[in-house]
């Protein structure tokens, strides 16, 4: 690795932190573009390919299940090639995967779409494994959540912008009688995917080159060992890490539900701009991240932020489940006076879950990695594997929907996740022995 910089230098030199932050920030923006495009593409493909809610959930799940396959191999790869090269490789995989969406659209083949989702998920896993510890360890661990919040702002800003752009450049067909589309309508929708995915591929290839050839420093962790033998077993001996992995898995499940199923819920209740709904969830997350940057650690600890996130999440889920789709009180208060649309309260409460979720990821990462030293790289790979929880969330909602809970009642399945996050915030992160 070139231009290696010790962690101690990073903590004492503000300028040396700034440069890696630029690199990491660009990577988080890319992650946001790819991850939150799922919320727009899922209802789009659900309409174009005439999929059931359960079938549509596989579009999201195939993206996140890739983490189970690539989590530990990604950690091994990063250990061998370094964090900067890992970012470049992750971007290159994602860019190449984006090109597969073009023949998938032309063939209107759900199997090929799922393969593309799986492969692009592998790329984002490699990138996540490289960039998250890069951010956590480039400075003081007590302020790590603030740095992750800054990265989150870029990630979620991409989540606000991308669904809007997607809705502008693609063609949403109008369903005919019985909700069916003509083949001509399907062809028009499919062809409208070619240009955006070509642009995505080119865009991400440019960032891969930036990560590879930029003169920005790489990081070397204290006491980092060249041998990975037994490190997974050693890492799993730390309860606060193992519980953190479970917390990440459950968090990502509820985050994905809030961001990527909101469009399908909007489609189910007849909201016209369903492909743009993810932008509302991401906007709420942006507000949460901004508050985190202001409040942590000066006014609020990472632990207390996690407690508040879990409590707000539980309350908001109850508002989703028991709210009325005939009530527009929230939009009349927050959107309509500023020229926004009138939307049902439960739909906007799903978006407000983004606010509750905002601080969970930034708080769990530093709490789970605390004191792990040379095991940080392996522990990061395990935490990234927790992202596979995103595959479970949409499936639960799809099964709950078709199993009698309905599109609205299925969101009650999020409650156990928030309860575990609350437990981890209160006591789970303190456990240092089994």
Q: What percent of the chain has pLDDT over 90?
A: 31
Q: Are strands 218-220 and 4-6 parallel, antiparallel or unpaired?
A: parallel
Q: Is the pLDDT of residue 270 over 80?
A: yes
Which band of pLDDT confidence, cut at 50, 70 and 90, is reported for residue 2?
A: very low
* Cα separation, 48 vs 42, whole angstroms: 10
Q: Which domain, by its residues, includes 77?
A: 4-221+230-430
Which band of pLDDT confidence, cut at 50, 70 and 90, is reported for residue 413?
A: very high
Rg (CA), the chain: 21
Closest by CA position to 145, among listed 300, 6, 372: 300
Q: pLDDT value at position 131?
A: 83
* DSSP secondary structure, 243-297, as one string: HHHHHHHHHHHHHHHHHHSHHHHHHHTT-TTGGGHHHHHHHHHHHHHHHHHHHTT
pLDDT single digits (tens) 320-375: 999 999 999 999 999 999 888 899 999 999 999 999 998 888 888 888 988 887 78
Q: Is the pLDDT of residue 25 over 50?
A: yes
Q: pLDDT value at position 220?
A: 57
pLDDT single digits (tens) 290-299: 887 788 777 8
- Give the domain CATH number at 109: 1.20.1250.20
Look at 353 and 406; give whichever has higher pLDDT.
353
Q: Is the pLDDT of residue 100 over 90?
A: yes
Which of 21-25, 216-220, 241-245, 388-392 ranks highest by mean pLDDT? 241-245
Which band of pLDDT confidence, cut at 50, 70 and 90, is reported for residue 217?
A: low
Average pLDDT on 199-228 reads: 72
Look at 135 and 305; give whichever has higher pLDDT.
305
Contact present, 387 and 67 (Cβ < 8 Å): yes
Segment among 39-48, 268-277, 315-324, 334-343 with least mean pLDDT: 268-277
Closest by CA position to 207, among listed 322, 90, 381: 90
Q: pLDDT value at position 242?
A: 92
Q: pLDDT value at position 226?
A: 43
326: helix, strand or coil: coil
Closest by CA position to 37, among listed 149, 200, 172, 171: 200
Number of helices and strands in the chain (H, E): 22, 2
| β-strand partners of 4 | 218
* Cα separation, 352 vs 350, whole angstroms: 5
> Please, what's the b/e burial string for 76-90 (b: 16 or more CB within 10 A of its CB; e: otherwise)?
bbbbebbbbbbbbbb
Average pLDDT on 28-42 reads: 86
Look at 429 and 423; give whichever has higher pLDDT.
423
Any residues with CB less than 8 A from the CB of 406 and at least 6 apart, and which? none
Q: Which helix (H) or strand (E) holds 6?
A: strand 4-6
Q: Is the pLDDT of residue 42 over 50?
A: yes
pLDDT single digits (tens) 121-148: 999 889 988 887 777 666 666 666 677 7
Q: pLDDT value at position 1?
A: 41
Q: What is the DSSP letter of 405?
A: I
Which of 105-114, 175-184, 275-284, 374-383 ranks highest by mean pLDDT? 105-114
Closest by CA position to 136, among listed 125, 126, 147: 147
Contact present, 57 and 394 (Cβ < 8 Å): yes
- Mean pLDDT (the chain) is 83
Closest by CA position to 422, among listed 301, 310, 255: 310
pLDDT single digits (tens) 162-177: 888 888 888 765 544 3
Segment among 60-64, 144-148, 189-193, 373-377 with least mean pLDDT: 144-148
Q: pLDDT value at position 119?
A: 94
Q: pLDDT value at position 153?
A: 78
Q: Which helix (H) or strand (E) holds 218?
A: strand 218-220
Contact present, 208 and 95 (Cβ < 8 Å): yes
Q: What percent of the chain has pLDDT over 70?
A: 88
| Total count of domains within the chain | 1
Q: pLDDT value at position 13?
A: 44
The CB density around residue 178, as the number of other CB atoms within 10 Å, is: 5
| β-strand partners of 220 | 6
pLDDT single digits (tens) 107-118: 999 999 999 999
Look at 144 and 250; give whichever has higher pLDDT.
250
Q: Is the pLDDT of residue 218 over 70?
A: no
Closest by CA position to 275, among listed 373, 166, 201: 166
Q: Is the pLDDT of residue 224 over 50?
A: no
325: helix, strand or coil: coil
Look at 187 and 391; give whichever has higher pLDDT.
187
Q: pLDDT value at position 52?
A: 84
CA angle 354, 360, 362 (to 5 degrees): 115
Q: Is the pLDDT of residue 222 over 90?
A: no
């Amino acid at each position: 690795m070139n231009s290696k910089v010790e962690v101690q230098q990073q903590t004492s030199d503000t300028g040396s932190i700034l440069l890696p932050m630029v690199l990491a920030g660009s990577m988080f923006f890319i992650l946001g573009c790819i991850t939150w495009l799922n919320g727009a593409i899922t209802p789009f493909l659900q309409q174009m390919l005439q999929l059931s809610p359960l079938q549509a959930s596989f579009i999201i799940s195939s993206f996140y299940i890739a983490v189970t396959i690539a989590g530990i191999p990604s950690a091994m790869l990063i250990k061998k090639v370094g964090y900067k090269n890992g970012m470049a490789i992750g971007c290159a995989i994602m860019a190449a995967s984006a090109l597969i969406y073009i023949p998938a659209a032309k063939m209107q083949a759900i199997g090929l779409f799922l393969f593309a989702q799986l492969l692009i998920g592998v790329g984002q896993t490699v990138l996540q494994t490289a960039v998250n510890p890069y951010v956590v360890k480039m400075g003081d661990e007590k302020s790590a959540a603030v740095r992750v919040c800054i990265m989150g702002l870029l990630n979620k800003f991409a989540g606000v912008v991308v669904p809007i752009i997607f809705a502008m450049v693609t063609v949403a067909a109008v369903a005919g009688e019985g909700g069916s589309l003509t083949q001509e309508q399907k062809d028009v929708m499919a062809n409208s995917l070619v240009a955006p995915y070509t642009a995505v591929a080119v865009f991400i290839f440019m960032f891969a080159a930036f990560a590879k050839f930029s003169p920005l420093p790489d990081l070397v962790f204290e006491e980092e060992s060249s041998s990975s033998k037994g490190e997974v077993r050693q890492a799993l001996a730390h309860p606060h890490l193992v519980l953190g992995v479970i917390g990440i898995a459950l968090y990502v499940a509820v985050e994905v539900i809030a961001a990527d199923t909101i469009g399908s819920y909007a489609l189910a209740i007849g909201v016209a701009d369903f492909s743009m709904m993810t932008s509302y969830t991401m906007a709420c997350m942006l507000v949460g991240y901004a508050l985190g940057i202001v409040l942590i650690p000066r006014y609020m600890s990472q632990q207390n932020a996690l407690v508040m996130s879990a409590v707000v999440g539980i309350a908001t889920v109850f508002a989703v489940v028991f709210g009325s789709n005939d009530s527009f009180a929230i939009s009349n208060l927050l959107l309509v006076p500023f020229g926004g649309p009138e939307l049902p309260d439960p739909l906007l409460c799903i978006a407000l879950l983004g606010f509750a979720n905002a601080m969970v990821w930034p708080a769990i990462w530093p709490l789970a990695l605390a004191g792990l030293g040379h095991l940080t790289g392996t522990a990061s790979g395990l935490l990234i594997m927790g992202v596979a929880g995103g595959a479970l969330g949409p499936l639960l909602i799809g099964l709950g929907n078709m199993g009698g809970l309905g599109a609205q009642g299925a969101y009650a399945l999020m409650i156990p996740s928030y309860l575990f996050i609350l437990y981890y915030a209160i006591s789970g992160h303190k456990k240092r022995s089994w």
